[in-house]
Amino acid sequence: MTKTERILLALLQAGLWEKADLNMTAGLLPCSEEDWQEVYRLAQQQTVSGIIYQGLLRLPDPLLPPRSLLLRWTVLIDRIEQRNRQMNSLLADLFRLFRNKGWEAVVQKGQGTALLYGQPLWRECGDIDLCFPNFADGEKAADFLLKASPQKPEKEADGSLTYLLRGIRIEHHRTLLDFQNPFLQPHLNRFIRKYGLTEAVLPEGEGAFTIPAPMTHVLLLNAHILKHVLGWGIGLRQLCDLALAYDRFSGQLEADDLYGLYRKAGLRKWNDLLHAFLTECIGLPADRLPYPSAAKVSPLPLLEKVMQTGNFGLQRQGRTTAKAWTRKWHTLKAFCQNASFTLNYAPQEGCWTTLRLLKGNL
């Protein structure tokens, strides 16, 4: 890792776990203004600016960035807070509507996962991802809401429906857990029936909504990370989500059931790598993992991907192109470039993900 990447991870751990260990920054801080500018850029690339800012607030004054950069960072945090408040307001309104209409919906990740953070409004938000256990409810909700949407809805390759509402992107998904192996679906259905869902309340009491219960929550986050690692890439924010979920839900997780499902899915090796990353790079205490890893594993294969691609691979060529077929070509290319990683860590899931992607695009 570069010096600035090491500073980034040291501040990430200080902010995420809300404690500062100055030994982590020994030999790294103080640093030049150019280094601080690069840390600021990396934090935005990885969508962890709020977490890094929390880490900065725990540094003594002589180690802080230049005042001008610190002011820019403060303005950025204010924008992140405002965006979260807008999203929370929309989410509260949506769930009041859904419940009045008798439509059952579940929030995947996003604002539900943000509640795990010490400062939920400082976690950078993206879309509102919804899953409707009865997909017909989702279609009715979409038909109703699209009257207020300025954008024509789009159907994605995975069958999800996306549209804009109040400037926020909303996605309706067909499944709660993003695993593509069809032979795993009966096991996933039993898992969801057993562990299911729970209620949550938005910050400042804005409203109640439904989210996955702890066991379902960690499985959903794991599947989401894997899906993007096998494709365009993943950033630090999603890995911080899972680290906090393991920590906050420790004592509520049934290790045997999680391990058994990962074994059926052929994901034991993937989870050994993931857990090594969470403990060595994110700072999750090993005793907060749901089960101990079978072998000592280096986190470097995953760390390299995270640093190279950033949040959802937005740094990669072709990721943000407006041309549909160009975007599809680069998506397929990304999966092909990851073939060696996929075969090593998640061969079954990788194969089915690629096949489903090809079918959806065609």
Domain limits of the chain?
A: 1-65, 84-189+196-212, 214-362
Residue 350 has pLDDT above 60, yes or no: yes
pLDDT number for residue 294:
75
Q: Tell me the average pLDDT across 23-27.
A: 77
CB 236 within 8 A of CB 153: no
Q: pTM of this prediction?
A: 0.92
Rounded Cα–Cα distance for residues 356 and 350 (Å): 10
Question: H-helix or E-strand containing 91?
Answer: helix 67-101
Tell me what the pLDDT averaged over the chain comes to. 88
User: Which pLDDT score is estimated for 218?
Assistant: 97
Q: What is the rounded distance in angstroms from the CA atom of residue 296 to the CA atom of residue 273?
A: 9
Instruction: Name the 3-class secondary structure at 240.
Output: helix
Task: For residue 160, name the pLDDT band (cuts at 50, 70, 90).
Answer: confident
Q: Out of 103-117, 292-306, 344-358, which region has the weakest mean confidence (pLDDT)?
A: 344-358
Mean pLDDT, range 63-69, rounded to an integer: 95
What's the rounded Cα separation, in Å, for the pair 353 and 181? Answer: 7
Looking at residue 146, its pLDDT comes to 77
* pLDDT (mean) for 206-231: 93
CA angle 45, 50, 53 (to 5 degrees): 105
Q: What mean pLDDT comes out for the span 61-66?
A: 94
What integer pLDDT is reported at residue 161 of this predicted model? 82
CATH fold of 84-189+196-212: Beta Polymerase; domain 2 (3.30.460)
pLDDT at 126: 86
What is the helix (H) or strand (E) element at residue 197, kind and residue range?
A: strand 197-201
Of 167, 142, 168, 140, the C-alpha closest to 153 is: 142
SS3 334: helix
* pLDDT value, residue 279: 96
Q: What is the mean pLDDT of residues 285-312?
A: 90
